[in-house]
Structure 1
């Protein structure tokens, strides 16, 4: 297993379209007044000032694959039929984690308590989409490294709690990545805190020269 790579400051473009989609707005279908649009854009920009993106990632070889799951080169077993199927053709994975930090969560709580619900909802949507974009950023980092070996990551990610990949596997990912180093904690129910913190698995696939 390679050593985890830590990213103490991740900068991503603001995914405005994704944020609006999460808020329930659809291009060409949802009508917003100019003032509503200005308010939302202002809250999105305001939310960014509370977000401090950090992340971590590591690549690990797969020792054995079964229908029921995979065994990593470290001996760790991930039991999941769906994860095994997702990693078809892969003999290496990248584990990743990211957080938007605690300040944005505190701001959301304060807004909710003070009945600033619109601001709280926009802050929540912004944090969710930004932290998801940070996983894209981490994947791009690893893709740049893998390109030298004619490899790339699967476009999709797989997360603990999805299908039969039980949420308890998040503790294994947390420990491997040492996510406490970027301020993330995990409770007895395998939930990460601060709230806008995530983990995921991507597969590594071999590509032919010129197909990248």
Structure 2
């Protein structure tokens, strides 16, 4: 295993792990605060959250370029005022994988919170607990299974992301190339050995994640 392959694996794991952490916090806060808004606002926000489920990754990648590219709405502002370029960087990879994985995490958290008996928060409020204390001490512990499920699904989606990432991040060896893009490049060039190697890496990582997932679920079930 050469240093380039190790770098590709490390970059893929770094992007996937960071994006999962980011969208976990974002999803919990989004569900919590959207439940306190009007149904109309909630539906509009959820439409944007879930849009990546209904359009192709390539189209999503192009939309992100229009927004974050040097001539994009946000990208041009960052480039002109702070000399910050988002596209073709590993940060762009985190943004892309976060967007495509967010619906999975959000809907898992939403399902968990929706299934909670409101009596828990009502009693906590009567005892003087703040909204943040209720979220931290009651809501999150009660939906741990949903959060864990969302994190596993989101990690798998982030690990396998290709289309949108290729558009926004590029396929630059040693800089932005992830496992999925390395497999694509290897197959395109006829390098079956490299493609099979990264396929094995993906399968091993997926297997280990599922083992951890099942272990945590079974452990939590015994503690109940």
Tell me if TM exceeds 0.5.
no
Structure with greater Cα Rg: 2
Q: Which TM-score applies when normalising by structure 2?
A: 0.28
